Amino acid sequence: MKLRIATLAVCCLAVVTLGLAGPVGAVSADANTSCDNPIISGLWQGVNNLALGTDSGCVSATPSQQSTTGRYVALGDSVAAGLGLPPAAGSDPACGVSTQAYPAQVAASLGMPYQNLACSGATAGDLVTEQHLSGTSRDIEPQLNMAFANGTPQLITITAGANDMYWQYFARQCYISTCGTATDQAITSWFRAVTAVKLGYALQSIQNRGGGSVPRVVLTGYYQPLSAACAQQLPAITSAESAWLNSQLASLNQTISSVSAGFSFARYAAVDFSGHELCTAQPWVQGINSNAPLHPTAAGQQAIAVAVLGQAR
């Protein structure tokens, strides 16, 4: 598995370098689709579908012809979906959406109707391309297509990037084997560069779709899931490996923050679980043996909601 990831990462490195030649947020405003730019198309084919072997699912991103609606739409991965918490009635089991996830709490605080379109396994690329649902034969629409289907939302939140980094894979490697090697470091650095291009392109797509009425967009960071005490309570993960995993999320957060700074309508919401990581007295993350290891508990989701509200108002 590591060899396959390393090989594909090397193949994409030249494309990433080209894609980052200018500012991350400076994707051409004329690039109204994710297919008309060979660099962007190559990024989705080469990295977004890294282990799937599927088509890129490029889609149009034409400006919305409908008026702005007072809706809030949540996009992103399993953290935004609320994986591991009680499922929302009528939701797709493959996505893991819960009413205890932070979007429901944000919507209630703002008094806004909302849609939680986040889905387990989603990458930043799946904001604008079809997502293949793991363990099924189904694909779902690009999240931004669904978000703008009934007009331009007033508020959009995005939690995405960890799956682009294959963070869960590396966390598993730390637990069952070793992680944090020089090769791992190089691979994750390349993945971060690709993630920056994807997020920048998604934000440009939101701007294009919104036309003259661009929604407020809040991009969340990721929390540090492991405390120093885990070195004693989870001996399978050494203190060095725990520190390396946390450092990868810290670097990803810096990437997300930098990308959001390139767009006037976007804000970055830092998420801090300090004192409530795994192996503390009151963890805000689900345990190693839970259905969704290292994902936020209901209390963790509430903490993310508070961070989002600080940037959404």
pLDDT for res 270:
98
pLDDT for res 235:
86
Beta strands 114-116 and 131-132, pairing class: unpaired
Residue 260, CA distances (Å) to 117, 158, 257 in order: 20, 11, 5
Q: Which long-range contacts (CB under 8 A, 24 or more apart) does 133-137 make?
A: 133/92, 133/94, 133/95, 134/94, 135/94, 136/94
The structure's pTM equals: 0.84
CA distance 217 to 275: 28
CATH of residue 178: 3.40.50.1110
Number of domains in the chain: 1
Residue pair 62/85 in contact (Cβ under 8 Å)? The answer is no
Q: What is the pLDDT of residues 188-228, one digit of tens each?
A: 999 999 999 999 999 999 999 998 899 999 999 999 999 99
> If you average pLDDT over every residue of the chain, what do you get?
85
pLDDT for res 22:
40
Q: What is the pLDDT of residues 76-88, one digit of tens each?
A: 999 999 999 999 9
Residues of the chain whose pLDDT is less than 50?
1-36, 38-40, 43, 45-47, 49-57
What is the domain range of residue 284? 2-312
